[in-house]
Chain A
């Protein structure tokens, strides 16, 4: 790496008043042709490029981004990382990702501030608790850590929560994944970009793909705002715009794009040292290292590409958050925004081959893609390099919608992330 980050580089650069740090990645002009072109410079796309280089030795790669890297859903999520899904296929994929998270800062030589502060999924009814017990048992059978907590244990972990029996949303218990937590979302994009760049990947920003050129049923390159770029293989990782890019290749996907909103409060002193999620009330909350409360809401039911959602959605979420945490009622919200999530009918992603030769799609992560960033890139890189899915992502093919092998994760993934 050109400029390895360490305590020594920090001290050395302090001597020059931190004015001589190299840029973290180059911004080259696009070449006319690459071995692999990745469309979409979010976390998943950058991770794909990084693992193509690191795991498969493919460095003749360009990542093409229409805006700036990490400016889409990577910079718009609530940064929760966990792997406690219900079904085997999903659990294995997300657990691979969680294992990569655990070594990611060292691997990338970039502090992604991954903090395993635990993730609580609250249960508010007897049925919630039955579902939680079922999911924790399934997790443990798959080798994923999980515990079922009772009301007193939840209260001990989160003293500010309203655990009174006459609360609007009584807390009957929770599942806890201690290895879950949060990470710094921007750092994930920047870290993958810098590490991929160091291995020779070209990162090209402000370059919109406008067409996918095909010949005899195979992809030969992409039309962009900066001219045609030839490629032996094209991997598309464009989240909310997946259907738009798919249509460029004459493909139809089982995806609908919806606005998903989140908001952050003013910074306050440390009050919440874990992640609290509740599927029943459509809300999830954590406190960032900066001190602001990071709150996620639900999706709007209509198709939307506007990166903003309805006020009624965040109103409902905040009403629930205030019931759960009465002490937060006077905290002021600083910012609110929306990201466009690509939702599949079974709340699971599509990672694999398409009917067009050498064209690959990684999409449909819906409301929960951030946690999967390293694992998604790792599996997608394998798929592109070998022209064949890894066993981890083979179940997540586009064909599952015709064979009927859906992976119904709405229970564990449907609302809260």
Chain B
């Protein structure tokens, strides 16, 4: 690789990392404001104009707090766990294409950090690693609440990752590629060429599974504060706790970006050919991606303040007895349709 290519990659990595962290901050602020608005309150509005500096104030507070490591914990694992959760959460965004190609310095630059040819597998693998962070945190804390939180998270993962994977399989069947770029390219053109219109059932299953994957309400059983104090992060404090916090939001961002990429045409704007518009096309595609992602991030918060938490057996029942058969049936129908059309 030449020097310019290396610099471009470095810039892209930094850009994506900074954008993700900034979105995490915005999400922490948005979560508090939106929840307040939905409850008829105003929420934090004192730090900076309309309170937008609140997450920074919170961050400073986290840094200043004493970092407590309880006596009975398994120290190396206890320290490792937040990193195991946060790093995959930040890494996942690397394969997601967030805009059409841009031409700079006489070369075409894809707006994507790494064009992995098994992009979806990479995403699924990394989100699975993230759950290890939760399980390790739960186990190493040497506390019953943390352990229960970790256990629940593990069980939840097994039952939902399956349905999520199967929902994704039907998308892969349509596009014929595991590459996220190909999936986006496959959805370009009309509004109805977006996968959400071709695969509505897969979309609903994927969306529900994503909420379980990111440990958000109505599936936040691993940190159900009414029953488990704080779940897996009960024993954590200061910067380690804030790492769990950031990881949760980073996971949400990745999940929203993935939903957009798989079902809502990625950076695609219907009826417009972005690649023919040059720099404006790129800007248009990036803003369309951000807009779509913003909607799904808002949906995360919106759903959180609307639905009550599932009971544990209900969660399992939904995962194994409802979503799994429907996802399998959906694959069967999709495959059958594709085979028949190929024969004709």
A binds B: no
The interface of chain A, by Cβ under 8 A from chain B, is none
